[in-house]
Amino acid sequence: MTGASAEASKPVEAGNRHRRLSSAWQACFLVVTVLGVALAVNQFFNLGFFIGLTILDNNYQYALIALFVPMVFIVFPAAKRAPPDKVPLYDWGLFIATLLVASFFMWNSQEIVEKGWEFGAPDYVVYPCYVFWILMLEATRRAGGTALFVVVALVSFYPLVADLMPGPISGLPSSLADTAAYHIMSNESVLGIPMRALANLVIGFLIFGVALQKTGGGTFFINLAFALLGHVRGGPAKVAIFASGLMGSMSGSVISNVLTTGAMTIPAMKRTGFRASYAGGVEACASTGGVLMPPIMGATAFIMAVFLEIPYVTIAVAAIIPSALYFFALFVQIDAHAARNKMPGLPREELPRIGDTLREGWHFIAVFVLLIVMLIYLKREVLAPFYATLLLIVINQITSPQRWNLAALKDFVLSTGLLLAEITAILAGVGLIVGALSVTGMAGTFVNDLVFLAGGNTIVLLFMGALTSFIMGIGMTVTAAYIFLAIVLAPALVQGGLDPLASHLFIFYWGMVSYITPPVALGAYAAATIANANAMRTGFEAMRLGSIIYFVPFFFVLDTAFILKAPWQHILLSVVFALSGIVLIASALQGYLAGFGDLTRRPFLQWPLRGAILIAGLLLATPGGGLIPWTNLDKTIAAGILLMVSLVPLAIQRRLSSHLE
């Protein structure tokens, strides 16, 4: 049995965070998942399962919560010391309470809309709101972690004391009853933008990602990467970039991507001479970049589409050049590191053959082609993942040696249910942040305060936004950080004259930075575990390798050519300058420049030399004009002078040395 088929047929086991479910609970979870997916399919395809009944949006969302959130209390233990294979009585109680209270609001969904209960609910409705609020906070804690719970809880209760807060964060106060009613029954909180994105768009892509993994897609992408790049210098590290980029684009999770592909790429990197911390840093950067890569970029990008009220494909297309620049920088750095340290690739005889790999996994490519065609050309982004999933499973069952048996099918459904339960709890919980900022009106006043603090200077505001996004990314999930900042920061950036889509992508990118930046660097620490390396050292390696991620957001927010909002000549010129600058930046960071060799041979001169090359690269890559006081011509001349001063003597010395030899 191949690795892919073994993975597909292995039953779901408890991870560190998940409880081992008994057969009865697994059966319950299977039924819940099938019902939830059927409900979504009915809604998306308008199949009319419910004859003579139109399902309102809030009714549909309450139904999803009633199905999936109660399972959070069964799957996720209350604490690490809780029994790993037994559901305590209090979790039974939370399961039943969540099911009942969500069903209550589902049953009354039409009255909520017709009578405007979010602004004036009767007492018998307010009390269930209190219960639902507390249950959602606990579900958020279990699914999203303590840090996210603390932030969501504090912000959700903020309306009660909004008038007592200092100037920039003060707002209109609200009573406990009014706040609870608004949180649970309005379209701006629990049923706000995050939950709408999940219910109306994200579910299909989540199911597709699970199906791709369970049919051996991960193994195919890794084998394809090894077949294409495993033999070149630094091959295993380049494999990590290719494989993790593809895996991350479909899974949308940095940590799961590291654990999936890193188990194969990190040992291969260490075998060919890469330090353990460097290998972990490569995998962390590649996995982080995967979430930034189209066509599937994780839940945050779909929520961005709902925020901006634009098709998701618009965001995916806009992200093509920024993500390509990020991966190009990784590739150049790894190639420079491998060249300077004379690191070979793996022997060809140990690598899979490209022909065999494509014959075994052609259907994965076919499915991706279908997905892209439906997204870009047919504009059917809601339905595309369902068709792609169906095609993938059918082909897998007909032609693939990894075809599912009943155990594998059960594992697929359980894995889908687990993911949907976790995401539903997190996104519904994060909606409480949106609701609190909405009911107090704080978002609008905070925007004006930010612009005032920046002195009306958009560049200052950008740096403030980058720092804020990074800090928020440390304290909560990227999705939660993005949602908060999309409300309070993005409007300020737009008010400063920046493009709305570029502003939202800027926040998204800077929220991702925390995955590879110490002291948090969760992606790097996960990779360090596999590499048996020092976690902090791995974090700093990832920070250096992924350093271009700190600059790319400024590129596209200063010049919309990078998000394909410019004439093609402008786009081409901007990309050429950016690629040239990135080559210099990456070479300076790694101490090796193609055509000039090792920059570290002279210890006393290497740092001025590398510093000059780095500055020249930044001058070339950064867009000129607009908010930048120098034109592209000014920057190019300055970069040329720096390169002449630093590289011409190096070239002369290199030629003289070759003649002497």
567/173 Cα distance (integer angstroms): 48
pLDDT, residue 414, reads: 94
Helix/strand/coil for 253: coil
Return the pLDDT at 616: 93
Strand partners, 597: 593
Across the range 584-594, mean pLDDT stands at 88
220-229 as b/e: b if 16+ CB within 10 A? bbbbbbbbbb
301, 315 contact by CB (below 8 A): yes
Please state the rounded mean pLDDT for residues 79-101: 88
Choose among 638, 307, 295: nearest CA to 501: 307
Crossing angle, helix 535-545 and helix 276-291, to 10 degrees?
50
> Could you tell me if 498 and 472 are in contact, meaning their C-beta atoms sit under 8 angstroms apart?
no
Q: What is the residue whose two structure tokens read 């040992």?
A: 267
Residues 537 and 647: their CA atoms lie apart, in Å, by: 31
Q: Looking at residue 9, what is its pLDDT?
A: 33
- pLDDT per position as a tens digit, 482-529: 888 888 788 888 888 889 999 999 998 888 888 888 877 888 888 998
Q: What is the pLDDT of residues 372-402, one digit of tens each?
A: 899 888 888 889 999 999 999 999 898 877 7
Burial of 405 (0-12, 13-18, 19+ CB in 10 A): exposed
- Tell me which of 54-58, 323-327, 498-502 is least confident: 54-58
Contact 203, 420 (CB under 8 A): yes
d(CA 378, CA 445): 41
pLDDT band at 6 (very low <50, low <70, confident <90, very high): very low
The angle that helices 478-488 and 458-475 make with each other, rounded to 10 degrees, is 150
The per-residue pLDDT for range 191-203, each reduced to its tens digit, is 988 899 889 888 9
Q: How far apart are CA 413 and CA 527, in angstroms?
A: 28
Match 């939950």 to its residue by tokens.
195
Residue with tokens 């010049």: 559
- Sort residue 441 into left (φ over 0), alpha (ψ -120 to 50) or beta: left
Given a cut of 90, whether residue 580 has pLDDT beyond it is yes
Dist. CA 501–CA 321, nearest whole Å: 14
Q: At residue 16, does pLDDT exceed 70?
A: no
Nearest to 195 by CA among 29, 425, 490: 425
Check residue 658 and give its pLDDT.
Answer: 57
Question: Is residue 381 classed as helix, strand or coil in its secondary structure?
Answer: coil
* Residue 10 in this model has a pLDDT that exceeds 50: no
**Confidence check: pLDDT of 316 > 70:** yes
Report the pLDDT value the prediction gives residue 100, as an integer from 0 to 100. Answer: 96
- Omega cis (within 30) before 344: no
Is the confidence at residue 1, as pLDDT, over 60? Answer: no
Contacts of 519 (CB under 8 A, 6+ apart): 536, 539
Is 661's pLDDT higher than 90? no
Residue 519 confidence (pLDDT): 75
Higher pLDDT, 447 or 165: 165
- State how far the Cα of 505 lies from the Cα of 293, in Å rounded to an integer: 12
Q: How confident is the model at residue 252 (pLDDT cuts 50, 70, 90)?
A: low
Residue 114 CA to residue 586 CA, distance in Å, equals 59
Among candidate residues 432, 362, 361, the one with its CA nearest the CA of residue 182: 432
Q: What are the helix (H) ranges across 108-192?
A: 109-115, 123-144, 146-156, 176-185
What confidence tens digit (pLDDT) does each residue in 455-471 have?
778 888 888 888 888 87
Contact 516, 285 (CB under 8 A): yes
Query: Which of 7-16, 177-186, 249-258, 645-654 has the highest mean predicted lDDT (pLDDT)?
Result: 177-186
Share of the chain above pLDDT 70, in %: 92
- B/e letters for 316-326, b = 16+ CB within 10 Å, e = fewer, are bbbbebbbbbb
Q: Quick one: pLDDT at residue 127?
A: 94
Which pair of structure tokens corresponds to residue 122? Answer: 């009767």
123 band by pLDDT with thresholds 50, 70 and 90: confident
One-letter amino acid of 177: A
Cβ-Cβ contacts under 8 Å for 643 (sequence gap 6 or more): 584, 612, 613, 616
Q: How confident is the model at residue 14 (pLDDT cuts 50, 70, 90)?
A: very low
Give the model's pLDDT for residue 76: 92
Query: What does pLDDT average to over the chain?
Result: 85
Q: Which residues lie below 8 Å from residue 330, measured CB to CB, with a gap of 6+?
A: 241, 282, 285, 286, 289, 545, 546, 548
pLDDT value at 656 more than 70 = no
- The reported pLDDT for the residue numbered 400 is 74
**47: pLDDT strictly greater than 80:** no
pLDDT value at 233 more than 90: no
CA–CA dist 625, 515 (Å, integer): 32
Whole-number Å distance between alpha carbons of 151 and 456: 29
Lowest mean pLDDT of 317-326, 352-361, 418-427, name the range: 352-361
Q: Is 82 left (phi over 0), alpha (psi -120 to 50) or beta?
A: beta
pLDDT at 251 over 80: no
* pTM across the whole model: 0.84
Write out the H or E segment, with its range, that includes residue 536.
helix 535-545
Question: What is the crossing angle of helices 203-214 and 354-372, to 10°?
Answer: 170
Please provide the DSSP assignment of 570-598 as one string.
HHHHHHHHHHHHHHHHHHHHHTEETTTEE
- The string of DSSP codes covering 617-642 is HHHHHSPPSTTSSS-HHHHHHHHHHH
Which amino acid makes up residue 618?
A: L
Average pLDDT, integer, range 628-653? 82
Cα separation, 528 vs 523, whole angstroms:
9
